[in-house]
Amino acid sequence: MTSTAYRTCPLCEACCGLEITLEDGRVKVIRGDRADPFSRGYLCPKGTTLGKLHDDPDRLRRPLVKRDGRHVEVSWEEAFAAVDRGLTPLLAADRNSVAIYLGNPNVHNVHAAFAVRPLVKALGTRNVYSASTIDQMPKHVAAGHMFGHPLAIPVPDLDRTQHLLILGANPVVSNGSLATAPDWPGRLKALRARGGRLVVVDPRRTETADRADEWVPIRPGTDPALLLAMIHVVFADDLLDLGDAAPHVTGVEVVADAVRPFTPEAVAPFTGVDPDRIRRLARQFATADRAVAYGRIGTHTVPFGTLAAWAVDVLNTVTGNLDRPGGAMFAHAAHDPVRRPPRRFRTGRFRSRVRNLPEVLNELPVATLADEITTPGEGQVRGLVTVAGNPALTAPDGGRLERALAELEFMVSVDPYLNETTRHADVILPPPSVLERPHYDLQFQSLSIRNHARWSDPVFPLEPGRPDEFQILSRLAAIAAGMGPEVDTDALAEATLVSMVQTAVTDPNSPIADRDPAEILGMVGGESPFERLFDFRIRTGHRGDGFGADPEGLTLERLRAHPHGIDFGPLTPRLPDVVSDPDGTVRLAPAEILEDLPRLRRAIEAAPSNGLRLVGRRQLRTANSWTHNIEVLVKGKEACTLQIHPDDAARLGLEDAAAARVQTERGSVVVPVEVTDRIMPGVVSLPYGWGHDREGTRLSVASRRPGVNMNLLTSSAEVEPLSGNAILNGIPVEVAPA
Ligand SMILES: Nc1nc2c(c(=O)[nH]1)N[C@H]1C(S)=C(S)[C@@H](COP(=O)(O)OP(=O)(O)OC[C@H]3O[C@@H](n4cnc5c(=O)[nH]c(N)nc54)[C@H](O)[C@@H]3O)O[C@H]1N2
Ligand SMILES: Nc1nc2c(c(=O)[nH]1)N[C@H]1C(S)=C(S)[C@@H](COP(=O)(O)OP(=O)(O)OC[C@H]3O[C@@H](n4cnc5c(=O)[nH]c(N)nc54)[C@H](O)[C@@H]3O)O[C@H]1N2
Ligand code: SF4
Ligand SMILES: [Mo]
């Protein structure tokens, strides 16, 4: 028997709509959903493999507990009892002695979106870590200081811009990040076809640069200097134009002053970009009809990540491109309120124990997790919870972090694989496969280039007796709160809903202000406690039905009636509603960020070093560190190679395909060389996410093509000071024949 199911792909931020053909209860084929108004049939090779992920025999179906150094299958009751025995004494002695690490797939998981926050709250620890500090934290900090909220991140209005400047991102391969747009390749092609210009700044001539009008090679880590010089030119050439944003922006004169020293001549030796070229790039950007700058991993995971994240939006603003079609615009998630309550964004409300690093968004830098585990004293981390994360491979100085994980007294992981990280866990709680859970992009709607809403029901029912991920995380939270492993989590979820309703009816800004809580609770739809929480969230968002206030508005039921999703059209200007700083303006020159300019000036003035610098790269067929166990995605030509320019290769005596040793103070790896002029001289590149050569994992495919872990080379000793982000690009390395 054949049938068809529709759902959003959870593997990357493009959020493509999938059409899944099922035959006899199994996935037969996955195609792009052509009826999806947002993705219009686009998908990449990873999206076709959700059935293979579901069927992967290595994917855990039952919990594992470590006994005598080996992981053995146990019942769910035994597993949760083991968690209770491991966590409860630690928490009773000191809440901070238990840390939690939240990995990337949480943001693609609607169950986690509802259940992780209560878990963190129940733990009550300040040792909260996430993939954000090895990724995009600088952008949150810049957005928080400029617009008042760390999630007020403008996205490039791809479909209407006439000039796109991309720095340190390769969306043709990554399909974009902090800018949700299915089919970047097609959208970039359309930009060129309508006469628009694409400029790519990257040490590598990437697949995106191949499609550009211009590739600008840059020395790693120097983008903020390039951007500040471009802003300098905007002021020097009298090209300043704030457009319609003018009444909402303050601090322009301060910026004008601050960029004065950053002349194109001053930054040229540092960036490796010629002064005339910087002037031309700035003028072309400023005089384009509609232009937008967009920066990602290569601009964020570097020593001046927050300055770069800020400078991108300063350039957008001073050229009149903030909040206008074709420029940098703000999406508006259906479940969010019309506007957020005013609040000044702050960091450093508490600090890490060992290195005194400031909190950002209530978390601490992953780069200091190993310090907190290995440094004795009051508040030492002795227990760890990981949810959907693989920091052994993804965090800096992976070698040291793995040694730290081995020292923990207790570790529990919510994860479908026994991998490089979870092999250290005492208990592994496997969630069901993505095809067994619903999907809704709570996070990525706020970062989309069109407003839309899509709900997907599970493709397969849950196997009897298995908890879903909402229930797993809720039970962990109950254990952390001291309620023991057997409490009725459904009743807890319902109690949460009741208290949410009670809060909302007393909030004058809520669409259900002054309503009768009992009436609202009677109207909430959905079958499970999770669905009821979700229905409530959607209906109280700005596109919700407000429980009758707007009969046309969204409910879970209405979302369900649109399996291909609902498109709300292109983004619309909304700056006054976005700004939530108590000043009521966009702060173009936040003191908290400008404070870091002298450090950049010192770096510019120091003589550039001649040594090789390592940068990372992503690959179309793998997602971060965890899809390498899918045969069709990793078979074929060796993918984990060190890219090096022919001049550097010749100088070092390295031939194509020969083995090279790449070395830093932290560690070394041996990897085949790929000699290519697609990388600038002085820079080498390794893909990230590999290194599946560890004992004690259950990754039968990945371990046959392990590759090397580039994070054995990165260091956790320094972080970007404003955001706590790790430094993962521009690493000084030595390369020699192995
Ligand atoms: N050198 C270098 N390091 C980097 C980067 C880089 O560019 N260079 N990139 C950084 C970036 S951008 C990121 S986002 C991080 C990612 O860092 P992490 O989030 O730590 O790593 P992932 O590889 O995404 O790990 C995902 C884990 O979640 C599990 N998982 C998958 N699906 C689910 C699910 O539905 N539920 C649960 N519970 N678990 C699931 C997988 O088995 C895997 O163990 O790495 C960062 N590290
Ligand atoms: N296929 C695939 N897609 C993915 C992922 C994946 O692993 N695989 N991961 C997802 C995740 S979690 C994320 S965060 C996104 C990331 O999305 P992107 O940021 O687009 O990802 P990368 O391919 O890492 O691109 C970073 C680029 O920065 C360049 N770079 C390095 N250092 C510098 C520098 O100092 N300056 C400049 N200008 N460039 C520099 C690198 O050469 C590289 O081309 O991708 C997502 N999509
Ligand atoms: S680009 Fe690929 S991995 Fe990303 S959402 Fe689309 S199909 Fe999934
Ligand atoms: Mo990421």
How far is 432 from 387, CA to CA, in rounded Å?
A: 13
Question: What is the per-residue pLDDT across 475-530, written as a single tens digit (0 to 9) for each?
Answer: 999 999 999 999 999 999 999 999 999 999 999 999 999 999 999 999 999 999 99
Residue 15 Cα: closest atom of ligand 3: 5
Q: Rounded to whole angstroms, how far apart are CA atoms 564 and 452? A: 11
Pick from 622, 606, 610: which is nearest to 651 by CA?
610
**What are the boundaries of each domain within the chain?**
137-335+574-598, 609-737
Strand partners for 62? none
Torsion sign (Cα): 371, 372, 373, 377? positive
Q: b or e along 403-413 (b: 16 or more beta carbons within 10 Å of the residue's beta carbon)?
A: ebbeebebbbb
pLDDT score of 300 more than 90: yes
Q: Which two tokens stand for residue 591?
A: 């003191």
Amino acid identity at 687: P
Instruction: Enumerate residues 6+ apart whose C-beta is below 8 A from 247.
Output: none
Q: What are the CA-CA distances from residue 190 to residues 40, 158, 161, 162, 270 (Å)? A: 14, 9, 10, 10, 34
CATH 3.40.228.10 fits 137-335+574-598, yes or no: yes
Q: What angle do CA 192, 197, 201 make, to 5 degrees?
A: 120
Q: Tell me if 154 CB under 6 Å of ligand 3.
A: no
CA 120 to centroid of chain Cα atoms: 19
> How does strand 410-414 pair with strand 328-329?
unpaired
Taking the centre of ligand 2 as the mean of its atom positions, its distance from the CA of residue 169, in whole angstroms, is 5
The rounded Cα 627 to chain-centroid distance in angstroms is 16
Tell me which residue has its CA closest to atom 39 in ligand 2: 168
What pLDDT does 610 receive?
A: 84
Share of the chain above pLDDT 70, in %: 100
Burial of residue 62, with CB atoms counted within 10 A of its CB: 0-12 exposed, 13-18 middle, 19 or more buried? middle
- Tell me, in angstroms, the distance from the centre of ligand 4 to residue 728's CA: 12
pLDDT tens-digit readout, 340-360: 999 999 999 999 999 999 999
**Which ligand 3 atom lies nearest to the CA of residue 623?**
3
Q: How far is the CA of 282 from the centre of ligand 2 (A)?
A: 24
Out of 33, 38, 40, 46, mutate this one to test ligand 3's pocket (max ligand atoms within 8 Å of CB): namely 46
- Measured in Å, residue 443 CA sits from the centre of ligand 2 at 19
For residue 608, pLDDT over 90 is answered with: no
Nearest CA among 406, 383, 463, 420 for reference residue 91 = 383
Of the CA atoms within 13 Å of residue 360, those in its CB half-sphere come to 30
> Taking CB atoms and a 6 Å cutoff, what residues make up the pocket around ligand 2?
12-13, 104, 135, 167-171, 173-175, 177, 201-204, 206, 218, 220-221, 223, 296-299, 302, 615-620, 622-624, 685, 689, 729-730
- Please say if the pLDDT value at position 609 is more than 90: no
Best residue among 11, 40, 632 to mutate for probing ligand 3, ranked by most atoms within 8 Å of CB: 11
Q: What are phi and psi of 129, to 5 degrees?
A: -130, 150
Q: Quick one: which atom of ligand 1 is closest to the CA of 177?
A: 12
Task: Count H helices and E strands in the chain, helices first.
Answer: 26, 28
Q: 392 C-alpha vs ligand 1 centroid, how far in Å?
A: 10
Tokens of 678: 């697609």
Entry pTM: 0.98
| Binding site membership of 621 for ligand 3 (Cβ less than 6 Å) | no
| Residue 16 CB–ligand 3 contact under 6 Å | yes
The residue to which tokens 């996430």 are assigned: 130
| Residue of 153, 164, 207, 615 with the most ligand 2 atoms within 8 Å of its CB, for mutation | 615
For 152-172, the pLDDT digits (tens) are 999 999 999 999 999 999 999
Hey, which of 36, 40, 43 would you mutate to test ligand 3's pocket, going by the most ligand atoms within 8 Å of its Cβ? 43
Distance 334 CA to ligand 1 centre (A): 27
Q: Which residues line ligand 1 (CB under 6 A)?
A: 103-105, 109, 131, 134-135, 297, 387-391, 394, 414-417, 419, 431, 434, 469, 616, 624-626, 688, 710-711, 714, 728
For 461, other C-beta atoms within 10 Å of its C-beta total 8
The rounded distance, in Å, linking the Cα atoms of 316 and 143 is 13
Ligand 3: which of 7, 13, 16, 109 to mutate, most ligand atoms within 8 Å of CB?
A: 16
Q: Which atom of ligand 3 is nearest to the CA of 43?
A: 7
Nearest CA to ligand 3 atom 8: 47
For residue 566, the cross-strand partners are 453
User: How many CB atoms lie under 10 A from the CB of residue 659?
Assistant: 12
Question: Cα 107 vs. chain centroid, distance in angstroms?
Answer: 8
pLDDT of residue 415: 98
The string of DSSP codes covering 130-190 is EGGGGTTHHHHHHHHHHHSSTT---EE-TTT-SEEEEES--HHHH--SSSB-S-HHHHHHH
CATH label, 609-737, candidates 2.40.40.20, 2.40.50.140, 3.40.50.300, 3.90.1300.10: 2.40.40.20
pLDDT in tens, 393-402: 999 999 999 9
- Residue 350 CA to residue 159 CA, distance in Å, equals 42
Contact 71, 428 (CB under 8 A): yes
Judge residue 159's burial from the number of C-beta atoms within 10 Å of its C-beta, 0-12 exposed, 13-18 middle, 19 or more buried.
Answer: middle
pLDDT at 275 exceeding the cut of 90 = yes
726 ligand 3 Cβ < 6 A: no
Q: Is the CB of 49 under 6 A from ligand 3?
A: no
Q: Is residue 459 lining ligand 3, measured as CB closer than 6 Å?
A: no
Closest by alpha carbon to 572, among 330, 248, 318? 330
How confident is residue 430, by pLDDT bands cut at 50, 70 and 90?
Answer: very high
Ligand 2 pocket test target in 618, 645, 729 with most atoms within 8 Å of CB: 618
pLDDT score at 704: 96
According to the model, what pLDDT value does residue 457 have?
A: 97
Q: Whose CA is nearest to atom 1 of ligand 3?
A: 44
43 lines ligand 3 (CB under 6 A): yes
- 163-167 and 197-201 strand pairing: parallel
**What is d(CA 292, CA 299) in angstroms, rounded to the nearest whole number?**
16
Which string of DSSP letters, residue by residue, matches 242-296? -GGGGGGEE-HHHHHHHHTT--HHHHHHHH---HHHHHHHHHHHHHSSSEEEEE-
Distance 136 CA to ligand 3 centre (A): 20
Please state, rounded to an integer, the average pLDDT across all residues of the chain. 97
**pLDDT confidence bin for 452, thresholds 50/70/90:** very high
Beta strands in 404-562 (DSSP E): 410-414, 427-429, 439-440, 450-453, 455-456
Q: Whose CA is nearest to atom 39 of ligand 1?
A: 388
Paired tokens of 385: 């919870």
Q: What is the pLDDT of residues 629-670, one digit of tens each?
A: 999 999 999 999 999 999 999 999 999 999 999 999 999 999
Question: How many angstroms separate the CA atoms of 171 and 168, rounded?
Answer: 10
pLDDT on residue 1: 86
pLDDT, one tens digit per residue, over 321-339 is 999 999 999 999 999 999 9
For 548, the 3-state DSSP assignment is: helix
